[in-house]
Amino acid sequence: MQNAKLAAKVESQKHSVLQLTDSVSVGGEDLLIVGGPCSVESLDQMETVAQQLSGSVQALRGGVYKPRTSPYAFQGMGQDGLEILNTIRHRYDIPVVTEVMAIAQIEAVADHADVLQIGSRNMQNFDLLKAMGEIDKPVVLKRGLAATIEEFVMAAEYILAHGNSNIILCERGIRSFDSYTRNVLDLGAVVALKQITHLPVLVDPSHATGKRELVPDLARAAIACGADGLLLECHPVPEESVSDARQTLSLEDMNALVRSLKPIAAAVGRSLPVARRPKSEAPVAMAQ
Ligand code: PEP
Ligand code: MN
């Protein structure tokens, strides 16, 4: 391993706990569960997601700048999608995570979201990594499609070296020879990253498997092996997702999955933060 002097965990150093907002953190005893669609599609869609998930997850996700294999595929809602995320995070008092693909997008994304994601395809976009070092918002850095653990850690080091210490790693599967699953979820990397770095580590079993029926068991396995949380794709009507439909859970299945994590979290000394009542459903104060 090269000299990852800022990412590396030196002996006896504690793991870093990062605040996403005043009340949501990652890396401590509380797990961070992030759920939402692959792509933001409409305000209605995100309202439904927020209403049904805000009692069970700690943060919402939804891409508005989408790195798609085909230039003819849906590329994301862009600025209109950012406005939707901004509305939702304030209305439901819940942090949102969304991807930034280019330096030119950073300012607007940082103004409308709580956590910025660097996707797999940009893990070694070094100029983008350096620019992410200039902001102070948390960054979810996803492992490259075929990145070694060392390359992954050094990518995080770029952001750290440029001044941003709020880095969250995310294992999302790596390419292999078997096309049965979209990728291969490398849980060994999760354990290794927790040993060699002080950074929080999330697992994304949705992109790792590409098949919704494989997601819940791998989500539970991720928590069992020490992940600090999960990034999961879910949608009000999964089959109608404009992107990544095949790996997307229904909101009901998502909530059931989160409930099923409780005993596993407890077994490894972690907890799921107490569910909050969605802000918009808070009882109206009685007039005196
Ligand atoms: C995503 O999380 O929306 C995404 C595109 O994931 P990845 O970069 O891991 O493919
Ligand atoms: Mn996706």
pLDDT, one tens digit per residue, over 189-236 is 999 999 999 999 999 999 999 999 999 999 999 999 999 999 999 999
Rounded to 10 deg, the angle between the 187-196 and 215-224 helix axes is: 30
219 DSSP 8-state letter: H
H or E segment to which residue 171 belongs:
strand 167-171
Ligand 2 center–CA 233 separation, angstroms: 7
The pLDDT of residue 287: 35
Closest CA to 57 of 97, 86, 12, 105: 97
- In order of 91, 244, 262, the CA distances from 187 in angstroms are 36, 22, 20
Q: By the 8 A CB rule, do 205 and 16 touch?
A: no
Q: Quick check: 285 pLDDT over 60?
A: no
Supply the residue whose CA is at minimum distance from atom 5 of ligand 1: 119
Closest CA to 53 of 284, 271, 250: 250
Q: By the 8 A CB rule, do 239 and 229 touch?
A: no
Q: By the 8 A CB rule, do 32 and 58 touch?
A: yes
The overall pTM is greater than 0.85:
yes
Instruction: Please list, in sequence order, all residues whose beta carbon lies within 8 angstroms of the beta carbon of residue 85, skipping any fewer than 6 positions away.
Output: 40, 46, 60, 62, 64, 96, 98, 112, 113
Q: Is residue 246 part of a domain?
A: yes
pLDDT, one tens digit per residue, over 42-54 is 999 999 999 999 8
The pLDDT of residue 54: 87
pLDDT bin (cut points 50, 70, 90) of residue 276 is low
Supply the residue whose CA is at minimum distance from atom 9 of ligand 1: 120
Ligand 1 center–CA 284 separation, angstroms: 39
**Mean pLDDT rounded to a whole number for the chain:** 95
d(CA 257, CA 162) in angstroms, rounded, equals 37
pLDDT, one tens digit per residue, over 67-122 is 999 999 999 999 999 999 999 999 999 999 999 999 999 999 999 999 999 999 99
Supply the residue whose CA is at minimum distance from atom 4 of ligand 1: 119
pLDDT bin (cut points 50, 70, 90) of residue 277 is low
Supply the residue whose CA is at minimum distance from atom 6 of ligand 1: 119
Q: Is residue 74 part of a domain?
A: yes
The average pLDDT across 4-13 equals 94
What percentage of the chain reaches a pLDDT higher than 70?
95
d(CA 56, CA 257) in angstroms, rounded, equals 10
CATH number, domain containing residue 174: 3.20.20.70
Q: DSSP labels for 174-239?
A: B--S-TTSSSB--HHHHHHHHHHB-S-EEE-HHHHHS-GGGHHHHHHHHHHTT-SEEEEEEESSGG
The pLDDT of residue 274: 76
The pLDDT of residue 279: 57
Ligand 1 surroundings by CB, under 6 angstroms = 38, 63, 67, 99, 119-120, 142, 172, 204, 207
Q: Are strands 32-36 and 139-142 parallel, antiparallel or unpaired?
A: unpaired
How many domains, in total, are found in the chain?
Answer: 1
Q: Is residue 280 part of a domain?
A: no
Ligand 1 center–CA 271 separation, angstroms: 26
Ligand 1 center–CA 195 separation, angstroms: 24
Which ligand gives the minimal distance to the CA of 169? 1
Q: Is residue 4 part of a domain?
A: no
d(CA 204, CA 37) in angstroms, rounded, equals 13
Tokens (6 digits) for 122: 């940009």
Ligand 2 center–CA 14 separation, angstroms: 32
pLDDT bin (cut points 50, 70, 90) of residue 286 is very low
Which ligand gives the minimal distance to the CA of 141? 1
The average pLDDT across 30-50 equals 98
pLDDT, one tens digit per residue, over 110-165 is 999 999 999 999 999 999 999 999 999 999 999 999 999 999 999 999 999 999 99
Residue with tokens 């299945």: 253
Q: Is residue 276 part of a domain?
A: no
The pLDDT of residue 244: 98
The pLDDT of residue 1: 79
Q: Is residue 282 part of a domain?
A: no
204, 235, 241: residue to mutate for ligand 1 pocket, most atoms within 8 A of CB? 204
Which ligand gives the minimal distance to the CA of 68? 1
Q: Is residue 262 part of a domain?
A: yes
d(CA 176, CA 38) in angstroms, rounded, equals 23
Ligand 2 center–CA 223 separation, angstroms: 21
Residue 151 three-state SS = helix
Q: Quick check: 282 pLDDT over 50?
A: no
Ligand 1 center–CA 29 separation, angstroms: 26
pLDDT bin (cut points 50, 70, 90) of residue 278 is low
Which ligand gives the minimal distance to the CA of 234? 2
Q: Quick check: 281 pLDDT over 90?
A: no
Residue type, 44: D
- Please give the span between the terminal C-alpha atoms of the chain, in angstroms, as a whole number: 66
Q: Is residue 285 part of a domain?
A: no
d(CA 212, CA 208) in angstroms, rounded, equals 10
| Parent domain of 131 | 18-267
Residue type, 185: L
34, 120, 241: residue to mutate for ligand 1 pocket, most atoms within 8 A of CB? 120
The pLDDT of residue 2: 79
